[in-house]
C-alpha cells in the first residue's frame, strides 16, 4: 500500500501497515468522527472465493461478533466493496506479547498477570462454544495500558463444528503450541486443546523459550505426544505442578479451565470480588449491530499468500454469502480433502460412469465429465480440478462449464454430493448449491 493516507468509506483515515493477519494485511486507521485509533484488516474478496475461504471468513466475523470481553480484540464493524472486505477492529497500541518475550523471560508476577487475562478470555470464549485453536504469543496483543487482548480468530471453531463423536477433527494451529491429540488426528476436544496451548504460553512467558523444541519436526512432535519437557530451576514448585497438570498429554486427565482458576498460584493478585472469566462483559450484540456492509470503490493492497490451515473450515457461521457470491457465480462448489488426487478423481470417474457422464479429459489434477444428451443450453460438462494446498490437504473445485444450470444443480444434489462423502474433509461455501 502507498504510504500516503487514504480515507475509507468516508469514515476512517487509513495509515501505516501494522502487519499480517492469518490471510490479510492490517493497517492503522483513525475514526474521522471520534478520532479513535482502529486496526483495519483488509481481505481480498476474489482470493477468498477462489481459494475456498468463504466459510473461514464468515466464521471469523461470527466469532468476533459473539465474543465481547475486555481481553479479546473488539470488532467494531465489517464493511465490503466489490473487491475487498474490511474488518474494523480495536487497535492494540502495545503490539504483540511475543515482542516482550523475545527480549527475555518475564518476571513471575508479570507472567501471571498475562496468564490470568488469557485464561479469562479463553474461559469466556469456551462458555460461548468458541475454541480459538491457534493460541500463541503472536496472537496475544497489548493495549496502551498493557491489558492483554486475544486476537486472530481465523482458525477458531464453534461447538457446532463437532462431529457425531463430539470432537473436532481439523488439524490446525502452530506446531510448537499444538496439543498432542490435535497432531494425532483422531479427534480432539477444542477446550482441552486450547488449555494445552495456554500452558505452552505460560512456560514461554516464564522461561523465555519453548518447552517443546527440536530442529527435527517429527522429533518435536514425539516430545509433544509424550509430554517431554523440562522446567528451568527458577520455576517455583507451584508453577511446575500447575504446568504438569496443563501439559498432560492425556486430554481426559488434563486440568480444566475451572480448576486452573481455583489454583492458588493462579489466584494470587486477583480481585476476589470478581470471578475470572466474566470480567466487564458487555451485552452480546445482534449481528446487525456489528456487521455493516457498505459498497464503495476504494482499493487497498492485496493480502499475501495463504497457508494450508487457512483453507480448512468446519462451521458456516452467519449467513453472509452476500459478501462473497453473486447470483451468477453459483454453478460451482469446493471442498477440502485429505485423499490423494488419484483417489479423488477415481471417485468422480466412478460416479460419472454410473450416471451416464463420459470422461473426456484427465491429467494429474483435473477431470472433465460430459453428458451425451444435449439440453437447451448444450451438453452438460463439469470440470473437477484439484489444488494441492499442502502434502496432506487438497482443495477440490467442481464447476459447470456448459449446459443447463438447473440440470447441473439437480445432478449435484441427487447423484454426486451424496456419494462423495468419503473423500470430503470439509465443505466450502456450501450455500452455493442451495438455490
Residues 378/402, Cβ–Cβ less than 8 Å: yes
Among 63, 73, 87, smallest CA distance to 140 is for 73
Q: Is 128 helix (H, G, I), strand (E, B) or coil?
A: coil
Among 385, 63, 21, 22, smallest CA distance to 172 is for 22
Alpha carbon distance 110, 427 (integer Å): 43
Alpha carbon distance 225, 181 (integer Å): 8
Residue 134 is among the residues annotated as catalytic for this protein: yes
Cell of 54: 468463504
Q: Would you mind telling me the total number of residues written for the chain in this entry?
A: 435
Active-site choice (134, 152, 189, 248): 134
Number of other residues whose CB lies within 10 A of the CB of residue 12: 24
**CA 57 centroid distance within chain:** 8
41 labeled binding residue = yes
Alpha carbon distance 320, 63 (integer Å): 13
Alpha carbon distance 435, 432 (integer Å): 7
Cell of 180: 498432542
In the block, cell 470439509 appears at: 426
Residues 381/371, Cβ–Cβ less than 8 Å: yes
Range list of H helices, 208-340: 217-226, 237-246, 257-262, 264-267, 287-290
Alpha carbon distance 358, 372 (integer Å): 8
Active site amino acids: 134
**Binding-site positions:** 41
**Binding-site positions for ATP:** 41
Amino acid at each position: 500500500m502507498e504510504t500516503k493516507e487514504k480515507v475509507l468509506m468516508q469514515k476512517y483515515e487509513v495509515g501505516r501497515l501494522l502487519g499480517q493477519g492469518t490471510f490479510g494485511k492490517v493497517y492503522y486507521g483513525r475514526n474521522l468522527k471520534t478520532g479513535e485509533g482502529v486496526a483495519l484488516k483488509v481481505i481480498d474478496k476474489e482470493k477468498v472465493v477462489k481459494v475456498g475461504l468463504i466459510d473461514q471468513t464468515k466464521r471469523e466475523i461470527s466469532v468476533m461478533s459473539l465474543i465481547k470481553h475486555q481481553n479479546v480484540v473488539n470488532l467494531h464493524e465489517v464493511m465490503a466493496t466489490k473487491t475487498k472486505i474490511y474488518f474494523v477492529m480495536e487497535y492494540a497500541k502495545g503490539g504483540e506479547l511475543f515482542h516482550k518475550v523475545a527480549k527475555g523471560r518475564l518476571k513471575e508476577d508479570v507472567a501471571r498477570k498475562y496468564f490470568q487475562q488469557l485464561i479469562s478470555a479463553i474461559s469466556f470464549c469456551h462458555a460461548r462454544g468458541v475454541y480459538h485453536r491457534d493460541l500463541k504469543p503472536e496472537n496475544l496483543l497489548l493495549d496502551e495500558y498493557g491489558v492483554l487482548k486475544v486476537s486472530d480468530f481465523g482458525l477458531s471453531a464453534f461447538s457446532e463444528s463437532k462431529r457425531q463423536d463430539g470432537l473436532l477433527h481439523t488439524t490446525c494451529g502452530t506446531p510448537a503450541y499444538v496439543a498432542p491429540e490435535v497432531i494425532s488426528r483422531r479427534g480432539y476436544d477444542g477446550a482441552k486443546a486450547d488449555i494445552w496451548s495456554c500452558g505452552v504460553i505460560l512456560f514461554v512467558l516464564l522461561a523465555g523459550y519453548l518447552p517443546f523444541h527440536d530442529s527435527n519436526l517429527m522429533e518435536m512432535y514425539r516430545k509433544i505426544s509424550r509430554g517431554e519437557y523440562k522446567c528451568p530451576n527458577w520455576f517455583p514448585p507451584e508453577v511446575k505442578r500447575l504446568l504438569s497438570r496443563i501439559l498432560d498429554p492425556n486430554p481426559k486427565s488434563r486440568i480444566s479451565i475451572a480448576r486452573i482458576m481455583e489454583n492458588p498460584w493462579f489466584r494470587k493478585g486477583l480481585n476476589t470480588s470478581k470471578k475470572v472469566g466474566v470480567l466487564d462483559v458487555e451485552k452480546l450484540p445482534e449481528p446487525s449491530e456489528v456487521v455493516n456492509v457498505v459498497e464503495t470503490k476504494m482499493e487497498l493492497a492485496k493480502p499475501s499468500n495463504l497457508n494450508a490451515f487457512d483453507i480448512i473450515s468446519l462451521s458456516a457461521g452467519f449467513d453472509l454469502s452476500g459478501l462473497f457470491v453473486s447470483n451468477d457465480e453459483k454453478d460451482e462448489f469446493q471442498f477440502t480433502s485429505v485423499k490423494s488426487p488419484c483417489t479423488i478423481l477415481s471417485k468422480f470417474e466412478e460416479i460419472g460412469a454410473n450416471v451416464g457422464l463420459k470422461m473426456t479429459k484427465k491429467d494429474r489434477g483435473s477431470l472433465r465429465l460430459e453428458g451425451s444428451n444435449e439440453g437447451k443450453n448444450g451438453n452438460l460438462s463439469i470440470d473437477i480440478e484439484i489444488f494441492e494446498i499442502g502434502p496432506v490437504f487438497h482443495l477440490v473445485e467442481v464447476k459447470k462449464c456448459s449446459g443447463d444450470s438447473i440440470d447441473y444443480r439437480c445432478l449435484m444434489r441427487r447423484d454426486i454430493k451424496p456419494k462423495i462423502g468419503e473423500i470430503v474433509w470439509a465443505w466450502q461455501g456450501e450455500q452455493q448449491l442451495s438455490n
